[in-house]
Amino acid sequence: MLTGLRGVGKTVLLREFGRTAEAHGWTHVPTEAAESQRFVESMATLVRKALLRLSAARRAAERARRALGILRSFLVRWNLPDGGELALGFDPIPGFADSGALDDDLAGLFAALGEFAQAHDTGVLFTVDEIQYLSQDELTALIMGLHRVSQDQLPFMIAGAGLPSLPSLAGEARSYAERLFSFPVIDSLPAGEAREALLSPAADEGVHWRPDALERIIDLTHGYPYFLQEFGKQAWDVAAGPDHITVADVEAAVPVAIHELDTGFFRVRIGRTTDAERAYLAAMGSLGPGPYGSGKVAAAMGKATTQVGPHRDALIKRGLCYSPRHGIIDFTVPMFDQFIRRWTA
């Protein structure tokens, strides 16, 4: 379960997990949670896709009967559309995935899929991106469902990625999650790796970075992968070459890269915010780099903490901010405070 800020490479890593699984003959089915999506429906879709691929690859549609019947039970119980050719025509198998308790029903579904994959000497990996958009109940059900099938040693795995605002789990779900998943934090690259990320693709093309040019980019980007990509690209495009990129090239590329980030990467984040939420963001930005005490942000707006609390919560729900500790808030987007100051200037 990867967590980290925007643009650090979580999605890139999930795809890599998918490729690894497929290289071992497993089926990989990716999905991305969204603010406005029904979780049960996306789970049913994932299972359906996995069964479709497994049975097509192995000409085993007939043998998928049991798993499809269980999927059908789930679809009926959770009032989900049938999804056409696949589950249709298979009778629901009562007693599996149709209790109405989401964790039990997910366990039934995962077990059916895992058993089918096992019978065909293969496995299934689900990757769930943007997992912070699941509600606490949904994430709890997912963990409990997985826990129930984990004891059966079935070839079924889930990998997830999300912002540090991942819903916090309580009680049993929490201790199961700790056993079922590891929680690596993905962050900016250490200077050595950041240098390598710029040096190595350029070297492949016979181009070298002057040391001061390289250091300037590391300094500007703080090693954040998305920014390295953007500044690296613009410096490459600006440089006259033929085989060196100089610090003057980097300086010329800076305004272009910043403009690109401001109109793309940063701008999309504030796209759907309300005026009150933007005022909250502006107050955060006015205080310099985060994290920020909620009280200080409210004070900067001349308001009481309780008055602006709903906007703060809305920004967390949108995935723009997160709370690293109680009473503390920060941006989920690296260097967002600088953008806010440029934007409000």
Interface segment toward Mg ion; rule CB under 5 A; list 9-17, 111-119, 184-192, 248-256: 9-17
Residue 69 CB, nearest approach to Mg ion (Å): 35
Q: Which of 156, 226, 322, 331 binds ligand ATP (CB under 6 A)?
A: 226
Interface segment toward ligand ATP; rule CB under 6 A; list 107-115, 223-231, 234-242, 298-306: 223-231
Under rule CB under 5 A, how many of the chain's residues touch Mg ion? 2
Please, is 131 exposed, middle or buried when counting C-beta atoms within 10 Å of its C-beta (0-12, 13-18, 19+)?
A: buried
CA-nearest of 147, 131, 128, 137 to 47 is 128
CA distance 187 to 331: 14
For ligand ATP, the closer of residues 6 and 77 by Cβ is: 6
Closest residue to Mg ion using C-beta atoms: 11
Interface segment toward Mg ion; rule CB under 5 A; list 8-16, 32-40, 113-121, 265-273: 8-16
CA distances in angstroms from 162 to 156, 207, 271, listed in the order given: 20, 36, 20
Please, is 47 exposed, middle or buried when counting C-beta atoms within 10 Å of its C-beta (0-12, 13-18, 19+)?
A: buried
4 contacts ligand ATP (rule: CB under 6 A): yes
Residue 311 CB, nearest approach to ligand ATP (Å): 22
7 contacts ligand ATP (rule: CB under 6 A): yes
CA distance 19 to 23: 6
CA distance 139 to 125: 17
Closest residue to ligand ATP using C-beta atoms: 9
CA distance 265 to 218: 19
For ligand ATP, the closer of residues 127 and 140 by Cβ is: 127
Residue 215 CB, nearest approach to ligand ATP (Å): 20
CA-nearest of 108, 43, 114, 122 to 69 is 108
For Mg ion, the closer of residues 100 and 271 by Cβ is: 271
For the beta carbon of residue 199, count every other beta carbon within 10 angstroms: 15
- Which helix H or strand E contains 209, and what residues bound it? strand 208-209
Please, is 188 exposed, middle or buried when counting C-beta atoms within 10 Å of its C-beta (0-12, 13-18, 19+)?
A: buried
CA distance 53 to 300: 55
Q: Which does 334 bind (CB under 5 to 8 A by kind): ligand ATP, Mg ion, none?
A: none
225 contacts ligand ATP (rule: CB under 6 A): yes
185 contacts ligand ATP (rule: CB under 6 A): no
Q: Which of 8, 46, 70, 166 binds ligand ATP (CB under 6 A)?
A: 8
195 contacts ligand ATP (rule: CB under 6 A): no
Q: Which does 9 bind (CB under 5 to 8 A by kind): ligand ATP, Mg ion, none?
A: ligand ATP
DSSP SS3 for 149? helix
260 contacts ligand ATP (rule: CB under 6 A): no
Q: Is the preceding peptide bond at 291 cis, omega within 30 degrees of 0? A: yes
Q: Which of 11, 118, 229, 286 binds Mg ion (CB under 5 A)?
A: 11
For ligand ATP, the closer of residues 101 and 185 by Cβ is: 185
C-beta separation of 186 from 8 below 8 A: yes
240 contacts ligand ATP (rule: CB under 6 A): no
Residues binding Mg ion (CB under 5 A): 10-11
Residues binding ligand ATP (CB under 6 A): 4, 6-12, 225-226, 229
